[in-house]
Chain A
Amino acid sequence: MNDLTLLRELGPEGPPLTPAARSTARAALLAEIDGPAPRRSRRPSRTAVFRVGVAAVTAAAAWTAAVVITGPEAVDGPRPGPGGLSMVATEAITFPLSPDPAPPGMTPSFTGSAGSTEAIAGYTFPDGTGFTVYLSPTEPVWAADQFQPSEIADSGTTTVGGAEAHYVVGSTERTCTLANVCFEDLAFAQLVWERAPGQWVNLYGEGRHGDLAALAAVGGSLVDRPQPIRLQVELAPAGWSLVDWHESSGAVTFVDDEDPARVLGVQCLPQAPAGVHEMDNGSAEQRIAAVTPIDPVVPTEIGGVPAQLVRAHDDVDPTIRFWMAAWELPDGTVCTVTTPEEFSPDDVLTIAGGVTYTP
Chain B
Amino acid sequence: MRALPNAAPSDAELIARSLDDPEQFAPLFDRHAATVHRYLGRRVGELADDLLSETFLVAFRRRAAYRADHVEVRPWLFGIATNLVHGHVRTEQRRYRALAREAGRSPGHAADPGDSADRLDAEALRGPLAAALATLKGHDRDALLLLAWAQLGYEEIAAVLDVPIGTVRSRLHRARRQTRAALGDVSPFQPTSEEEDR
Contacts and interface: CB of A to CB of B under 8 A. Distances in A.
Interface stretch (A39-47, A228-236, A344-352): A39-47
A6 B125 contact: yes
A317 B65 contact: yes
Interface residues of A, number: 60
B130 A12 contact: yes
B49 A48 contact: yes
A10 B41 contact: no
Interface in B111-157: 122-123, 125-126, 129-130, 133, 138, 144-145, 147-149
A152 interface: no
Contacts of A9: 122
Nearest to A280: B90
Q: How large is the interface on B (under 10, 10 to 19, 20 to 34, 35 or more residues)?
A: 35 or more
A305 interface: no
A11 B83 contact: no
Interface SS majority for chain B: helix
A315 B162 contact: yes
B91 A316 contact: no
Contacts of A29: 25-26, 29, 53, 56-57, 60
A2, A46, A57, A180 pick with most chain B CB within 10 angstroms? A2
A3 B190 CA distance: 8
Contact of A6 (B86, B96, B129, B161): B129
A318 B162 contact: yes
B38 interface: yes
A32 interface: yes
Interface stretch (A20-28, A70-78, A130-138, A193-201): A20-28
Interface string A30-43: 10110100000011
B31 to A, nearest CB: 12
Nearest to A283: B90
A48 B42 contact: no
Interface in A334-356: none
A263 B27 CA distance: 25
A28 B90 contact: no
A13, A278, A291 pick with most chain B CB within 10 angstroms? A278
A2 B192 contact: yes
Contacts of B160: 316
Given A17-B52, A25-B49, A249-B50, A11 B149 contact: yes
B48 A15 contact: yes
Contacts of B96: 12
Contacts of A298: none
A32 B57 contact: yes
B1 A26 contact: yes
A8 B149 contact: yes
B19 to A, nearest CB: 12
Interface of B: 1-2, 22-23, 25-26, 29-30, 33-34, 37-38, 40-50, 52-54, 56-57, 60-62, 65, 76, 79-80, 82-83, 86-91, 94-99, 122-123, 125-126, 129-130, 133, 138, 144-145, 147-149, 160-162, 176, 179-180, 188-192, 197
Give 7 closest A-B pairs by Cβ, nearest first.
A14-B41, A277-B94, A25-B53, A7-B148, A21-B49, A17-B37, A48-B46
Given A3-B148, A14-B43, A15-B46, 17 more contacts: A3-B176, A4-B147, A6-B129, A7-B149, A10-B123, A12-B99, A14-B44, A15-B45, A21-B52, A28-B53, A48-B46, A48-B49, A48-B50, A277-B98, A278-B91, A281-B88, A316-B162
19 contacts: A6-B129, A7-B148, A11-B129, A12-B99, A12-B126, A14-B45, A14-B48, A15-B41, A17-B37, A22-B33, A25-B29, A28-B53, A29-B29, A29-B60, A43-B53, A277-B98, A280-B90, A290-B86, A315-B82
